[in-house]
Each structure stands twice: as C-alpha cells, then as structure tokens.
Structure 1
Amino acid sequence: MRLVVLGGGESGVGTAILGKKKGYDVFVSDFGKIKNNYKEVLALNKLAWEEEQHTEELILNADVVMKSPGIPDKSPIIVKLKEKGIPVISEIEFASPFTDVETIGITGSNGKTTTTMLTHHILKQGGLNMGLAGNIGKSFAWQVAENKSEGYVLELSSFQLDGITKYRPHIAVITNISPDHLDRYNYNYDLYIAAKFRITMNQTEDDYLIYDDDDEVIKNWLENNKVKAKKIPFSLSGKNKKGIYVKDNTIVSNIKKGEFTMPINELSLEGKHNVKNAMAAISVAQLKNIRKKTIFESLTNFQGVEHRLEKVLKIQNVEYINDSKATNTNSTYYALDSMTAPTVWIVGGVDKGNDYNEIMQLVREKVKAIVCLGVDNSKIISAFSNVVDVMVETTSMTEAVKIAQKMAEKGDTVLLSPACASFDLFESYEDRGKQFKAAVQNL
C-alpha cells in the first residue's frame, strides 16, 4: 500500500511516521519548504520526501493520500487525485483506525482551543492519561504511533472534518458556528456549517453531542437534521434544563446524578464566551466521571491559552492584551465585548470574508482609536472611518505597538485582536502574537 502525504508539517510528518510503522510505502511531498526540524525527523525515520514541488508520477500512484489541512481542495494536485478516484483524507481519518481508545472531538468557529485545553486540563487533573492533539501540539497520528494514551482530546477544524469518512468521536463538542474560512467554501455558509456537523455524522446512540443551545445556526441545523448521538445542550439561559445552564450567575449541571454547581466568578477565565467554554468542558468531564471537587479546582486554576486574551504587561497604567488568535470577526467580538476600558485596537491581516457590521456596535462603544496592521487595510478603513476618530496604517508590529502606545492614555487598554489571518506579514498567528509581546516588552 502506497501512502502519499501532502504537506511536511506537524500533521504530515506524524502521518508519515505512523504510516511507516503500519507497513505502508510512504512518500512526503510539500509544495513549500519543509522546516529543518521536520527534515531531521524524516531522515531519522528513513522516509522519502520532496519540497517546493509535487512530482506527479510519485503522487498519482498512491493508494491513499493524506493532505494537510492547509491545502485547499481547489489545488491542482488534489483535483488530479480526485479525478483518478484516489481517496484523499485527513490525518484524523488516517490515524483513528490504528487506535482502540476513545476520542473527544471539539470543533467550532471560536473557543475550540480554549475548550480543548480546558477539557484536557480537567481530565488530566482527574487522573486520566489523555493525549492532546488535532490543531494543537504533537500530531494525533504521531501520538497514535507512540501509543501512550488512554484517550485523546482533539481540536478539529472544518478542514480536518472535510477529510473524514469513518472517524467517530465518542464525545463531540460544537462550541458555536459563525462565518469563517468562507474563502475555502466558495463563500457558501451552508457548506461551512455542514463541514462542522461532520463531527457527529458517524456517531451512534452510545455517543454524545455537546452543543451551544443559544446558537441559532446550531439549533436550526439540529431541528432539520437527524443526529443519533445523545444530545447535551449548554446555555447561558435557564430555558433548557436538560443539560447545563446558568442560573443566578452560577453554572448548573444535571448531566450526572446529583447536581454540579459553580459560581461564574470562581472561574479563572473571564468573559461570557469563557463561561460557555467552561460549560462544554464540564459536560465532558462529567461524562468521563471526573469528581466534582476535581472539576471545580481545575476550573479555578486553569491558566488560559497563549495568544487568546493574554495579558502581556501594564505600562504607565495601560494594559496590553495579546489576542492574536482572533482570526475572524466573531472571535474579535468576544474580545471587544470583554473590554472594560477605552481601547486602542490593533486590527488587520488577510481578510477571510469578514462582515464588520457584526462588531460595529462594540467598536462604537469601546474603541477610541484603530491601528491597522496589514498589507491591504482598505476594507477596515471603509468600515470604521466614520465610527472611530483616529485611524493609522502600519506595516510592522513594532511600529503598530509604538503608535498604539502614543495614542493610549492612563487607564486605557491596547488590544491586538486582528480579526484576520496573519499570512500577509507573519508566519502564523503565534508568530504575530510573539512579535506583539516582544514589541510591548521593548517599550
């Protein structure tokens, strides 16, 4: 069996290692450059690879192809593979048959990283040896090859879910759905929604689907489509007493016998969206029979996620916050919503089809000045020029931070929450966040 892996990053290299271990003839091909650390791993494992090209005669003879999530279906090599009827799957689909342990799959437009990490944190505190993978950390396939975990908590993007046919999580979580990555779905929101719901398509009556019952898109889809899994809703209102909800500023869960309650002000994470992330994580923990005391303690000591509303420094009584992980308007909505001081907002990058009307009201209320940080800022300028008095265009993080510092007065907040992808000026949202933190530390 010939396995061709397209993309020599984390998921690609992990898949190649697992494939070789399971007896496949493996070839890795990357249209860009492969990072040196991955080249070393490929060499160490005696795996064949190429970079900066896709040699068709070495790819079109595959029995199965694993493509990295970053490669669009429109790319010429994928089109040719599909014309030949060669299966093109995601890392999650390739790796899952090689493990017997159960997985918890978490998806959503926003909040999935925080929810995944929080869930993993609680289960680990509860004594379970769980792997953490998907969009985070060491790839799922790589961990399956090492076979050291009794289960996995997976953060799953719509791109990873596009590439599954049989993958079935025992517990699936959908944190929320809002327009994102529409450039990859022919600007058709319904296609993107359908991609997210693939997470539950193979689930049975023995499995669970945890979802946001306040989310109109999710509710609408569930009303019009059948789901076999047991449904567990979470909600900020107490209307649906079935799953987990908020009453008198307290989270109340009836998932297991004997109520679990937790006052919202005890959570280590701030903001309404994090109450929802916490409810999703509590639901999983209860299904996994983690003790209430452990759940409570884990929620009070969780440190949060880097680049997600991360407090960097306070300088001359101005708070600097790194929310580089906000790559769409919905994510930035949560960030602006949790601001309590006048805000200098650093925004911009590669627009993935944003509708800035969604955050217009919050920008009016919270934002005193905008610093644009992107190659093309025209859409941001036309959206907000009548709303905010001061707007400045910049092309580097150092410049953006220095200008933001000049605009900010005592008691203000400087917020990096770009609402866009990072690839015009940065390698990734992590790179963008790290550059922001370094620039703030140099002030």
Structure 2
Amino acid sequence: MNTTTFSLDNARALDQADPLSQWRDEFHIPPAPDGGDSLYFTGNSLGLQPRRVARYLQEELDDWARLGVQGHTEARRPWMPYHENFTELNAALVGAKPHEVVQMNSLTVNLHLMMVSFYRPTAERPAILIEKPAFPSDRHAAASQIRFHGFDPDRDLIEITPREGEAHIRPDDLMNLIKAEGHRIALVLLPGVQYYSGQVFDMATITEAAQAKGAKVGFDLAHAAGNIPLHLHDWGVDFAAWCSYKYLNGGPGAIAGCFVHERHARNESLPRFAGWWGHDKSSRFKMGPEFHPIPGAEGWQLSNPPILSMTPVLASLEIFHEVGMNALREKSLKLSDTLWAWLEERLPERVDVITPREDKQRGCQLSLRLKQGNGREVFEELERNGVICDWREPDVIRVAPVPLYNRFEDLYHFVERLEAAIKG
C-alpha cells in the first residue's frame, strides 16, 4: 500500500501504525458543529487541554481549602518551591542544564527582563537584529528597548527580510547580514520558528556567527518549544524565552519559561531587574535589604510562583516527558510530509505551501497561501465545517498538525474540506 496516496483507508492505516496514537485520548478535543470532534490544527496558537489538568487543579484547590497558608509547605506539591517541579522537565525539553531554566512570568515580560541584562547598547554598537515580519510583540519589545536606551529604532532596529517574491528568509542572507552589520549589532533576537512562514532557524549557526562578531544572542521559542528538539546549552545561546500555551498546552496566558546559559550564572555584575524570589533561597526570609541572586536562571525571578496558573503547565510538561521530543518530532515530520503530499496530489494548482520543504527548516506548521487570493473566504468556510485552523494577515492559513493529538485521518478530512471550500 502506498500510504502517500490520498485516501481514507491510507489515513486510517497510518493511524493504526502510529506508536503515539493513544496520546490523543489524553486531551479534550473541541466538538464540531455536527457533534463529532473538530479538526483542530491550532496547537501553534493554543494547545488543547490535557485531561489530567482538571485533577491537578482540583488538588491545589483542595489543598488551599484544607491548609490555607500552610499549603506553602504542606500541600501535595508544596507551593513555596513549586517552580522547581518544572526544572528537570524544562531542561529536557529545551536541551539545558537544570540551573539554566526557570518557569516565570509571561513571554514578553521575560524577553524584557533578559534584554535588561543582555542588550547593553553603545554608540558604536546600538542595534538589535530581528526578522521581518516579526511577531508584533517581539518587534514592539525590541523597538521599545532601543528607545529606552536613547537610540532610534528607525536606524538601530535591523530587520532581515525574505527576498522579493519569496516567503522565507534565506539562511545565507542572514549570515551575510550578520557579517556585514555585526560590528553594530548588540543583540540578535530571532525566533526559533518563524510564526508566519513556519521556518525553523538554524540557532546553532546563528549563535556562533553573531557571538563571533561580539553580539549577544537570544531566541523567542514561542513556536519552537514543544515543536522541535532544542539544544540551547550546547548551542551556546545567551538566553531564550518561550510561552507555554501553544505547543506546550498550558492553557490561555499560561506562565512562560526562560533559559539563561550557565556562563552567566554567577555574573552578579550583569544589570537586572530584581525581585525577592530571585534572591538567595537560604537568606530570602531574613528580609535583608541587599539582593543576592540565586545562581542561574532562577536569579531572574521576581515574584513567588502563581500556583493555579502553573498547574496546567505542569500537567502538560509531564506528558512531554513521558512521550519524549524525539518521538514527537518523528511523528510530526510524518504528519507534515503526508499533508504536503496530499495537498500536492489534490490541489497542486490552487495551494502554495510557503513553509520551507527541508525537514530541518520546518516544524509542525505548514503555512498555506491560496493562488486565487480568496484565502479569507476559504478559511471562514473551513471554520463553518468544523476545521479549526488559523488565519494570519495578509494571506496565510496556518495549519499545525500536532503529534500529541492530531491523526492522519484528521489530515485526510482537512484536505477533503479544503478542496470543497476552494471549489465552492
């Protein structure tokens, strides 16, 4: 049987052979208008709720009711060191040492906190390098940091763009820009996976090239964490931050994660915005006036952990630990390869995939552009027919088959409904 051929039987055969198929049952699948399961392809925007979340949250509520303030030390998962439950899980997820990661704040807050320490512009080296189009929050953050330091984003925000008529950034163009402008660049701040095109950036090569020019390097991993394998420590990245509500299924607005390379762990001369939860644990409650940061990423914490916001993330990260990123990546590539092949088979004259084809340059997401230019109308028709995907201006439908809960049969029905919507 040629399972690359578009057919329901082939889709079901692929699902029967899928070693991860049982994990779908660990998640709540939103219902479709017809009462069945929706076709959910927006794990790149908001991941689905793990079934164990409700139990974990109820345990915390019960402990709060039963123990009050004593829950900080006596709860099933004591609240005072609650963020430490994430340490090993996050380290495995992003390829870090345990003291290099911490769960705290939200993504953009963490990026700002990191830029306080690692964006140190001078008159000779004032610039931040980002991509275009960057996710607006990243661009706003970078531009505001430049202004805060008295520089001009019109001059000092350098944006690497795709070539005219192309959809993603050529790696050679990025390397050439770093070589040409590296003497001006204080910070390279790029995504691990580009939100619009789905392009995966070569983080190891970027880090090496930028640091060789004297720049610091940070990554926004909002679309990378839980999507592709990461090796932040080995790559030598200075810092990274990620949200937990996309591929990591932590719930809307879930608390974020942060990485700081160990070479910065004990550098107390780094400027930072401080809060008491980043203070040395052994003397925190002595309430002294001097700040002594915890060595490692924990030293950038500000406030004590918000337990009820962190609990869903813990439930989901446990699933990632149980399944493993290598197995998820293997299935992810099979899903996206299959979807790509079926789109080429059924709609070669109607749909362009603007995501890079090479495995190492893409994750779960395929970004689709309709050649007839009626993408918004087709997207709305898909929604009416139980397909939950994602529209991004000006003309892209983002489809993210997530290996934890998407099936090959989902892909079959998506292509079937997309074809019907396009042909009207």
Task: Between the two structures, name the one with larger relative contact order (CA 8 Å, sep ≥ 6).
Answer: 2
Normalising by structure 2, we get a TM-score of 0.28
Normalising by structure 1, we get a TM-score of 0.27
The structure carrying a bigger strand percent of its residues is 1
The structure carrying a bigger helix percent of its residues is 2
